[in-house]
Structures are given as structure tokens and as C-alpha cells.
Amino acid sequence: MKLAPQSVPYRALQKVSGIVVILFFVVNNNPDWGFAVAAGVAGAVVLAAVGYEVAYYRRFDYELTDDTLDISSGVISRREREIPYRRIQNVDVSRSVIQRAIGVAAVDLETAGGSSTEGSIRFVTPDEATRLQREVQRRKAAGSAGSARAGDEDAGRAGSGAGTGAGVGADRVGPDEEELFAISPGELALVGALSFDGRLIGLLAFLSSGSVPVLSSFIPDASAVALTATAIVGVGGLFLVSWVLGAGVAFTNYYGFRLSRAGDELRYERGLFRRYSGSIPTEKVQALRIADNPAKRALGYASLSIETAGYAPGQGGEQGSQAAVPIATTDRVYRLAREVESFGDPQFNRPPKRIRWRYAFRYAIVVGVLVAIAFGIEWFLGAGLPWYAPAALLLAVPPAAHLKWRHRGYWLGEDHLLTRNGFWSRTVTVVPYYRIQNVIDARTVFQRRWDVATIVADTAGGGSIAGSDAAAVDFATDEAVDLRETLRERLRIAVAEHRDRRDRFEWFDGDAEGADPVDEQTGEADEPTSDTNDGERSDDGGESGESGERDEDRSDTPDDGVIRPDFSGSDRDYSEPAERIDTGDYAVDRNPSDVGGTSESGDGDEDNDSSDDEKAEDADDDEK
């Protein structure tokens, strides 16, 4: 598949616009060079850029094969990349205002590895972007239906999702979308109101600090009162502007936010000027985070973010949770979170009450340090100030310690670990046992004195980098050790369940006749299953003569009421027996529908021809 032709001029202009602006300034500063020279240089640069982009366009090719997405790209140094569908974490589509005007969209595919976006397709038409998104999901669902999620509800849901997928999948539409969340105008206004961009204040304060001496020289005879008033108004104005800007950014970012579920996948959409849309497979969700603060709690609101392993640490915090629900009423947030991970009704265990003393001591020490600093300043200046004033904060220590204790906790659900931490920004983290990568039990010197420990359940989620792991902090040592061992045990069980489910699915797949499930299953459970998830290969593994009946069975619910997932990893037609072709090196099965594939390989030849032309152009480029 090729990129959209419009992308050539767009990419070219995107690349050289900076150079053109620099040239403009150069011409302005050196009038004697004349406009003609500048125009000539700019024209040459644009031509070179267009030439390069044409080559890029001709060279860039992507293809959806049976189990990988192949991207070949690069003008001077070439790259062929194959991304297995089941390794894809997220598929994101974004369109800025200009991109929307000329009808192109950028597609980004993320996998868990690597430090940057693994598959970046710039640019295709919006329809093609949507098709790619849907197609990747469909092929992935077909390829990895065997490795369904842990938990009974999840299994049921996955089954029904795959069932609808099989039913509708024939006409390449995919499962129906079910809307989970759409932001209401009131919530959007609230998001805007609560967004305050502090960066601007910092910038303006930095700039104005330099300009104060300059300004004060302009107003030498102004009274101190007037100056103070101006300063207050100025600072007030600064805050107002920051707030309006922050609100504007949040408003444009989250305008029209909606989250929906389609089969085994979550889809989101948002943005006023730059539209973002993307998909997150539910089986790739690593953790959920529900955050609130005292203001939000008082009003009954919270926010939710969904974590995957797709975004690398260096890619910025904003991107890490593309599908974050910025704000919604608390019960709505929990309902939504349970749609994604059904974790039941949490009853948090709090740390032992004695730990409040630890927090009280800690805060008292902070207050003591403040008093000492105040005393030092007073001693240094000798101004007779009440240096003991910060000691009044001691009154706030007991409630602060109590609140800190009150908002900590953990809960062991049936399939999930929930932890809760923080008063000012309280975060509830939901981690499925199956997603735990390792368990860390840490005790500092001070924690040992109180006989408590912290247990961290580490996942592959991107947010953990920011230090917001699922941590049960300050629990009695024996309770913490129990928790650590419980987590290890539950992980083991969850992995065993997954493997069991995977093997069972493989068995259904391998033997379509399905004479006696129980015996066969136990018989095959111990077999090595290294290639179970390779949908296409396991389809070939089945006897091709029976595959026709299997296809018919799949399209609607069987009599026994068991909905079997759709295993067809490809669009192959299995209605007739495959023909064995000897290629010389090895024998392959060729199905009737594959015969069309030879004409495709003919296309491939043409591509090869054209790429030869490109090689020539590349040579030209290199000479330049």
C-alpha cells in the first residue's frame, strides 16, 4: 500500500518551512543580496525537498500480511520492518488542522519494545487510517484469540467479542462500537476550569525579573503604593492569563472526548483542532489509575488513565495516557474502570494505626526545620520578627498524619491488586495479578524501626517510570511478607489459567471435529505450545478437508451454545482442499484463494521495477 499522494507536498513544505523562514530573515538583514537570490535559493531548497519526498513516497510501502504489518521505507538508508500484529500495543491516529484541510492523517503503531514509535506512517488518507486501525485489530483478534484475558468475566466478554467479530468480520467491518464514555459540556468546562498552566507564569516571571530595573528607570517618581498596586495587578493578570491559557489548551485537547469499546479493543477520540483517535486492545492494558484531589473529591469527581506498555519513557507524560478520562463523576469513573478491568468493590486495608505516629514525627521534624530557618533569618537580620510563628503549624500535624494514614491502603481482589496512596493527589492503582512483572519488598532504616515495609508490584506500564507504582506503603512486616507471597502465588495461578486457556483454545483449533473435549484437553495440555498463537499456521495445522465445515460453524452460534472464537488469521478461502506446491526448497499448501496472490506478486514485480527507478533517483540524491 502506498501513502496518500497529498502527503508529498505537505511533507516537503513541512520540512523546508523552517529554512524558508530563515532565508526571509537573512534577506531582511542583507538587503543588498536582493530578493532574486533569496527566491532562487528557496526555490532550489523546495525543489530538492519535493524531489526527496517524491522518492520517499515511491519508496514507502506498507502491507498487511497474514500475521505481520510490513513497512519498507527509507530513501538513502533503507529499512524493512515487520511488526507482528499481536505485539502491537496501540494504534494512534492524529490529524492537525492543516492535515484535516488537505485530507491526510498520521498513523503511529506502538509496540512494547524500543525507545520510539515503532511504526510511523506519514501520511495516509483518513479513511485509510481508519481502515488500518480496524484491520490491525481484526487480524490481531483473529491471530491471538487463543490468549484471551484472565478472569471469568473477561473470558466471557472476550468470547462474545470474538463471536461478534466472527459474525461481522466477513464483511470487514469489525465488531460494533459500544460507547463507554463521552465528555459532557459541563465536564469539559470543569476540565478547563481546573487546568492551570504554571509554565507561563514561570516564563513571564523570568522575563519580567530582567525587565524590572529597565521599567523602574522609566518611572522614577512613582510612589511605592502605585508600584505595589501595579505589581499586584500584574501578578493577578498573570495568573488570569495562565489560567485562561491552561483552560484553552485543556479545552482544545479534550474537546469531543469519547471512549468506546469495540470487541476486545478500546477506542478513543478527542481534540478540537488536532484530532486524536486511537485504539488500545484490552488485553494490553497493564494498569488503571484513578486519581483525584480534595477539590475533586468534594465535588464528587475523579479522573482515570489507562496504561499500556506501548509508550517509551522518553516520549513524554502527555502521550503516556492518551486515553485518560480527564474528569467524570466518581461513580462513572469506577463504572468505566470496571468495564475495562472488572475488579469488584474494593475494601481497602489500611496500614496499622501506630504508623500515624511516624507521619506525625516526620511532619513535626519539617516544622522544626522551618522554625530553625526562621530563627536563623531573625538572628541574621535582627529585625525582631516572631521567628517562632511557624511552630503554629504543629497544630496541623496530627490531622495531616491522620489523613495520610487514612488515604493509604491496598486491597486484594479476585483478579486484581488495588493500592491507594496520597491525600493531595490520591491515586488508586488497579493492577491485574497477571500483569505483575516482579514484586519488591523494601524497608528503610526508619521503616524497620516501626516494623513496617513497603510492597511494590511492578508492571510494564509506562506510568511507573514517574514513580507512581502500585505500592502498599507502611504495612506491618508480617502482613507485608504475606502480601508479597500472596502476589507471587496469585501471579502463578493467573499465568497457569492463561496457559490453560491458551492450550484449550489450541485444542479446539487443532481438532475441529471435537469428539470429546475433556479427554483430549488433558491429553494435550502438556505439549509444548511455542507456536500456538500463530493463527495462520495453526489453521494450516487443521485438516484442510474439514475446514469448510469449520468455517460454516463459526459464522453463527452453534447449537451447544458455546461461542468459539474466530481463528481465521487471513482472508484465505478454505472451502476447497489445499494443493501441495513444491517450490524446490520446501513444500507449501496453496489454497484456491491464494491463486489470486500470484497476481499480487506480479504487482510486487512492478514495485520492484519502480524501486529500481528510485534507486537511480537515490543515486542522484546521493550525488547532490
Partner 1 sequence: MTTQTLHPRVQVVWVLRAVLIAAVVTAPFAGAVYFDRLPEWVPIAVGAVLLSLGVAHALLRYRRWSYEIREDALYLDRGVVTQVRTTVPLVRIQHVDSRRGPVERGVGLASCVVYTAGSRGADVRIPGLTPEGASDLREELKRLAIRADGEDAV
Site residues, partner 1 (CB under 8 A): 89, 112, 147, 284, 286, 309, 313, 434-445, 448, 456, 458-462, 464-465, 469, 484, 487-488, 491-492, 495, 498-499, 528-529
To the nearest whole angstrom, how small is the minimum distance from the Cβ of residue 486 to partner 1? 11
Q: Which is nearer to partner 1, 419 or 464 (CB)?
A: 464
To the nearest whole angstrom, how small is the minimum distance from the Cβ of residue 334 to partner 1? 24
Chain centroid, CA 589 distance in Å? 39
Q: Which is nearer to partner 1, 282 or 286 (CB)?
A: 286
To the nearest whole angstrom, how small is the minimum distance from the Cβ of residue 448 to partner 1? 7
Q: What is the helix (H) or strand (E) element at residue 244, kind and residue range?
A: helix 224-254
- In three-state form (DSSP H/G/I as H, E/B as E, the rest C), the secondary structure along 185-239 is HHHHHHHHHHCCCHHHHHHHHHHHHHHHHHHHHHCCCCCHHHHHHHHHHHHHHHH
Chain centroid, CA 435 distance in Å? 16
Q: Which is nearer to partner 1, 530 or 599 (CB)?
A: 530
To the nearest whole angstrom, how small is the minimum distance from the Cβ of residue 438 to partner 1? 5
Among 547, 549, 550, 545, which residue's Cα sits nearest to residue 564?
550
To the nearest whole angstrom, how small is the minimum distance from the Cβ of residue 234 to partner 1? 43
Q: Which is nearer to partner 1, 154 or 187 (CB)?
A: 154
CA 40/CA 100 separation, integer angstroms: 31
Q: Decide if 610 contacts 618 (C-beta within 8 A).
A: no
To the nearest whole angstrom, how small is the minimum distance from the Cβ of residue 454 to partner 1? 9
**Amino acid code (one letter) for 177:** E
* Residue 211 CB neighbours (<10 A): 9
Q: Which is nearer to partner 1, 228 or 438 (CB)?
A: 438
Q: Which is nearer to partner 1, 73 or 286 (CB)?
A: 286
To the nearest whole angstrom, how small is the minimum distance from the Cβ of residue 400 to partner 1? 24
**Amino acid code (one letter) for 619:** A
CA 171/CA 165 separation, integer angstroms: 10
CA 138/CA 220 separation, integer angstroms: 73
Q: Which is nearer to partner 1, 23 or 483 (CB)?
A: 483
Q: What is the helix (H) or strand (E) element at residue 491, kind and residue range?
A: helix 477-510
Question: Which grid cell is 546?
Answer: 474439514
CA 359/CA 361 separation, integer angstroms: 5
Question: Which grid cell is 518?
Answer: 475433556
CA 396/CA 57 separation, integer angstroms: 65
Among 499, 597, 353, 263, which residue's Cα sits nearest to residue 588?
597
To the nearest whole angstrom, how small is the minimum distance from the Cβ of residue 422 to partner 1? 18
Q: Decide if 82 contacts 119 (C-beta within 8 A).
A: no
Among 533, 541, 556, which residue's Cα sits nearest to residue 589?
541
- Spatial CB neighbours of 274, under 8 Å, sequence gap ≥ 6: 94, 95, 96, 97, 252
To the nearest whole angstrom, how small is the minimum distance from the Cβ of residue 161 to partner 1? 19
Q: Which is nearer to partner 1, 165 or 310 (CB)?
A: 310
Q: Which is nearer to partner 1, 166 or 494 (CB)?
A: 494
**Amino acid code (one letter) for 29:** N
CA 82/CA 135 separation, integer angstroms: 16
CA 486/CA 371 separation, integer angstroms: 45
To the nearest whole angstrom, how small is the minimum distance from the Cβ of residue 420 to partner 1? 19
To the nearest whole angstrom, how small is the minimum distance from the Cβ of residue 307 to partner 1? 10
To the nearest whole angstrom, how small is the minimum distance from the Cβ of residue 466 to partner 1? 10
Q: Which is nearer to partner 1, 147 or 557 (CB)?
A: 147
Q: Which is nearer to partner 1, 332 or 435 (CB)?
A: 435
Among 528, 527, 444, 455, which residue's Cα sits nearest to residue 485?
455
Q: Which is nearer to partner 1, 469 or 509 (CB)?
A: 469
At CA 192, angle to CA 240 and CA 96, rounded to 5? Answer: 110
Q: What is the helix (H) or strand (E) element at residue 620, kind and residue range?
A: helix 595-623
